[in-house]
Amino acid sequence: MDKSWMLITDRLRSSEYANGVKEFITLARSHANGSDEIRCPCTLCSNNYFLPFSEVERHLFIRGIDKNYTVWIFHGDEEYLSLSDDDNLHDSPHDDQYIDDVDIMLEDIQAGRFSGVPSNESFNGGGTTSVEPESTKSFDQLLVDARRPLYEGCTKYSKLSFLVKLLHIKTLGGWSVKSFDMLLQLLKSAFPNALLPNSYQESRSLLRGLGFTYTKIHACPNDCILYWKENVDKEECPKCKVSRWIFSKSKQKSIPQKVLRHFPLKPRLQRLFMSQKIVAEMRWHRDQRMNEHGVLRHPADSEVWKAFDQQYSWFAQDSRNVRLGLASDGFNPFNNLSKPYSIWLVILVPYNLPPWLCTKDQFFMTSLLIPGPRSPGNEIDVYLQPLIDELIDLWKNGVDTYDAMTAQTFRLHATLFWTINDFPAYGNLSGWSTKGKMACPSCRQETDSMWLT
């Protein structure tokens, strides 16, 4: 069957695209076994949701079909049905052995690892970039757990997917480690054949092969410096002379007064291109966006985006280069406003994605957790140093990244496009005084103001 229509971008006016959608719906209906719903293969649903035929057809015209879905395994594709069991990479969801697609995600990451791309980069204490290779043994164990049913005959969860879901609920629900361990013991008692870990610590250790780590960087309690790069070995702040450590009678372990948590950006960006489901969306702003004059649907339609493309044409030539937005604000982590404590969060948002994805929380990248108890104020630039260093390196040098769509390695560059914040945070991030005579950063000297006596 001809599938060239899947690559057409002008979906609403192309008769070829309309005929292709009609043939697809007809094929899917003939293999639906009388059901009124099928998996929707649009770019957003990605075969994860069952919808009525009319809704699927509407999604295919508005959002487009997932370009990676070249073998229609969920809709009766003859190419898929003719494959032998050994050659078939994706089991049918109606097969007794089908569980979920976590193992496919891991295979994407593994392909990137074996392409020579480092999968886990982080900043060490001295501020230089170091590569810590993932343990092959732990990663192979993850693949085994992703393909192993939670219990014999289970077709809904693998051992790994159930564990990930459980840890996710723990985080959203604010469970303590003790309550999580009690739940595990209850589940093991009620379902003795289920492959469950014994404790929270064992659960976390099973996921270490994915390499989701962060770096701790000690900071001066008065926000003067980070104990990083040239200050990594200092015992007290060279500016305010305050000790790096909390005084303790027991000298068994030194406790830092303040700790910044930095989540490396490079491996996060690399993983976006290692996933077969996401890699096509990272080109959406160039390949699938409908460009109509005077219509603003995406930041790529803005004058800022177009002016940037003209000024830095080398960056714009590759649609995979990432454009980021930075959002920052403080919050009280204790859910109690009577406790005056403020942690500042720095989040990065990739704007290569379509507008219905780039604003979803699963694509928000936590970059920094700036500790309290008070707002860093104008000293926030002290804490932004690791992120700024990483952004400068991504702009100038880039990082080798595996592209799951082309199965090739390319040089990925990134740029920080703009910031998203309220007015006080704008003043801290930009250095512009947002109060007084020239409070407006747009009007500047032309700000209409008067003194109140």
Q: How many domains does the chain have?
A: 4
Out of 157, 189, 210, pick the residue that ends a domain: 210
For residue 92, is it within any domain? no
Residues 233 and 334 placed together within one structural domain of the fold = yes
Residues 390 and 369 placed together within one structural domain of the fold = yes
Residues 24 and 171 placed together within one structural domain of the fold = no
Listed in sequence order, the residues at least 6 apart from 117 whose beta carbon sits closer than 8 Å to its beta carbon are 270, 400, 401, 402, 409
Show the domain range for 319: 215-421
Residues 327 and 263 placed together within one structural domain of the fold = yes
Cβ distance 370 to 387 under 8 Å?
Answer: no
Residues 402 and 295 placed together within one structural domain of the fold = yes
pLDDT of 120 reads 47
For residue 245, is it within any domain? yes
Phi, psi (deg, nearest 5) at residue 360: -85, 145
For residue 97, is it within any domain? no
Helix axes 102-114, 136-147, angle to 10 degrees: 150
pLDDT of 177 reads 92
Residues 198 and 224 placed together within one structural domain of the fold = no
What does 54-69 look like in DSSP terms, one character per residue?
HHHHHHHHHT-B-TT-
pLDDT of 126 reads 42
Residues 315 and 229 placed together within one structural domain of the fold = yes
Residues 291 and 169 placed together within one structural domain of the fold = no
The amino acid that residue 179 corresponds to is S
pLDDT along the chain (453 residues), means of 10: 86 89 89 83 81 90 85 70 42 42 63 55 40 50 77 85 88 89 94 90 76 87 94 94 84 86 93 85 89 85 94 95 95 79 93 90 92 90 96 96 88 94 88 83 84 80
Q: pTM value?
A: 0.68
Distances 252 to 66, 81, 247, 249 between C-alpha atoms, Å: 56, 64, 12, 9
**Cα-based angle 284, 289, 293 (whole degrees, multiple of 5):** 150
pLDDT of 127 reads 39
Strand ranges (E), 306-381: 322-331, 343-350, 365-370
pLDDT of 359 reads 85
For residue 93, is it within any domain? no
For residue 96, is it within any domain? no
- Closest among 327, 398, 342 to 374, alpha carbons compared: 342
pLDDT of 314 reads 96
Residues 194 and 223 placed together within one structural domain of the fold = no
pLDDT of 69 reads 82
For residue 312, is it within any domain? yes
Cα(377)–Cα(360) distance, rounded to whole angstroms? 28
